[in-house]
Amino acid sequence: MVNFTSNTYQMKREILSFSNKISRKLPKPERKFIADMNYGILASGSCLLTDIVDQLHEPSRKINIVDRLSRHLSKGTPKDALKLYLSLIRKWCPDQPVIHIDDSDVVKPDGYKFESLGWVRDGSESTSTKNVYKKGYHVTEATVLTTSSHPVSFFSEIHSSKEKDFTSINDVTFSAMDRAVALFKKATFVMDRGYDDNKMFLKLDSLKQDYVIRLTAKRKLLYHNKWVFATELRNRRKGKVKLPLFYKGKMHEACLSHVKVQITASRKDIYLVLVYGITEHPMMLATNKELKSKDDVIKVAKLYFSRWKIEEYFRCKKQMFQFEKFRVRKLKAINALNFYLTLCMAFLSHISMKTETNALKAAVIHTADPIKEKISFCYYRLAKGISGILSYAKEGVRLWFRTKRPAYRQLFLKLVV
């Protein structure tokens, strides 16, 4: 690829154009700060303020720039910027989109000065037989699939049970659901076994939303006026609907079955969709979507298996931008940093929606030098390619905000006779 400086200039302009859409209602210092954060995170592939400052190439002392960024982060997330961001991603999504909600963790095992630092289950080291707990924070994330089937976050909150005003994780999840309804009106919520809770079913029913939730082995269902375990219904039936499925790097032939039941919480008719042949124990999915044909059953199963995209979203956030290595200590500043990182992830989705013939997207993929030609999740290679293109930059983005001053007239002395 030739004309590297041209690609760098175009990438800068694309980042600034995206940042201005989010910050156009903010004062000029805030607009500069958002542009610095977006550019610095994408260029450095890190959320460490020192790494971000290195990519800004400003003549000031490094410590002074870090202090400036820290002061802005301590103000929290700008409400006007959040509103503009939500209105922007709403345009990227179809009517009645698919929403994934999941919990993750940010582990800080050696942290002592972080505000309200609690204990969390370390998902990277825990197994099905052993749980490993470390100091850290809980992260509740809600993503929506765009028209190009890539996840974009519309709710991301870092919280801890050590906070004074903390109530429960369920309340945080309910806040994500309320924002989704306010933003999209009608959607399909896809969630894993951790959300098999009567409160979740009642909340979604009250919001009049569709859902696909995987059930646990403890769940009881009303079938022919008798309460039975979901596992008993699972063992009675056999899948008759065939579904070729790519799962965890291998092709499988799943067998599907479904039965009409009632849930403990609402006593409303729902469907239990059973998925055989993928895992050791068949999956049990509860959905309130109407199933009238085989295609409807297959669609529900595919909706659940699309949930892996939010897990890849978490992984990309931690690996490509080193999210767990942040050093800001106040929880308000940590959530603000998380918001700007969310903007960078949304920028990756923005680039992914460009056509394959787009010159800038082609340059990003060429710079990333990927091994596989076609993949289902492209955020990794886009982040790597953008960072590679911006590595040729000798200046940051501050000069793009140069103040326009009026031309002063030359002073002269008037002689008085």
Under 8 Å between Cβ of 316 and 379: yes
**193 domain-assigned:** no
- Percentage of the chain beyond pLDDT 70 is 94
Q: Is residue 365's pLDDT more than 50?
A: yes
Taking only the tens place, the pLDDT of each residue in 162-180 is 888 888 899 999 999 999 9
pLDDT given for residue 287 in this prediction: 95
Taking only the tens place, the pLDDT of each residue in 9-65 is 999 999 999 999 999 999 999 999 999 999 999 999 999 999 999 999 988 899 999
Taking only the tens place, the pLDDT of each residue in 305-314 is 999 999 999 9
Confidence of residue 109 (pLDDT cuts 50, 70, 90): confident
Tally of domains within the chain: 1
pLDDT given for residue 122 in this prediction: 81
249, burial (CB in 10 Å: exposed 0-12, middle 13-18, buried 19+):
exposed
Please name the helix (run of DSSP H) or strand (run of DSSP E) that holds residue 23, with its range, or none: helix 4-23
Q: Is residue 298's pLDDT more than 60?
A: yes
**348 domain-assigned:** yes
- Choice between 339 and 392, residue whose per-residue pLDDT is larger: 339
What average pLDDT does this structure show over 63-85? 95
Q: Distance between the two ends of the chain, CA-based, in angstroms?
A: 72
**395 domain-assigned:** yes
What average pLDDT does this structure show over 364-370? 91
What are the residues whose beta carbons fall under 8 Å from the beta carbon of 25, sequence distance 6 or more? Answer: 80, 81, 84
> Which residues in 387-398 are b (16+ Cβ under 10 Å) and which e?
bbbbeebeebbb
pLDDT given for residue 1 in this prediction: 42
Confidence of residue 413 (pLDDT cuts 50, 70, 90): low
Taking only the tens place, the pLDDT of each residue in 181-201 is 999 999 999 999 999 999 999
Confidence of residue 249 (pLDDT cuts 50, 70, 90): low
> What integer best gives the mean pLDDT of the chain?
89
CA angle 259, 263, 266 (to 5 degrees): 135
Give me the amino acid identity at 30: E
**363 domain-assigned:** yes
pLDDT given for residue 43 in this prediction: 94
What average pLDDT does this structure show over 158-162? 90
Q: CA–CA separation, 69 vs 60, rounded Å? A: 13
**341 domain-assigned:** yes
Q: Is residue 81's pLDDT more than 90?
A: yes
Q: Is residue 229's pLDDT more than 50?
A: yes
**54 domain-assigned:** yes
pLDDT given for residue 281 in this prediction: 85
pLDDT given for residue 3 in this prediction: 45
The number of C-alpha atoms within 13 Å of 364 and in the hemisphere containing its C-beta is 29
What average pLDDT does this structure show over 259-279? 87
What average pLDDT does this structure show over 116-125? 83
What average pLDDT does this structure show over 351-364? 89
What average pLDDT does this structure show over 73-86? 95
- Choice between 158 and 245, residue whose per-residue pLDDT is larger: 158
Long-range CB pairs of 278-283, under 8 A, 24+ apart, other chains included: 278/245, 278/247, 278/252, 278/254, 281/217, 281/234, 282/234, 282/239, 283/214
**162 domain-assigned:** no
Q: Is residue 244's pLDDT more than 90?
A: no
Residue with tokens 């080193």, as numbered in its chain? 322
Under 8 Å between Cβ of 349 and 152: yes
What average pLDDT does this structure show over 303-331? 91
pLDDT given for residue 412 in this prediction: 63
What are the residues whose beta carbons fall under 8 Å from the beta carbon of 417, sequence distance 6 or more? Answer: none
pLDDT given for residue 411 in this prediction: 63
What Cα–Cα distance (Å) separates residue 346 from each residue in 21, 30, 154, 242?
12, 19, 10, 36
> Residue 240 in 3-state DSSP?
coil
Q: Is residue 353's pLDDT more than 60?
A: yes
Structural domain including 356 reads: 4-77+330-401
**11 domain-assigned:** yes
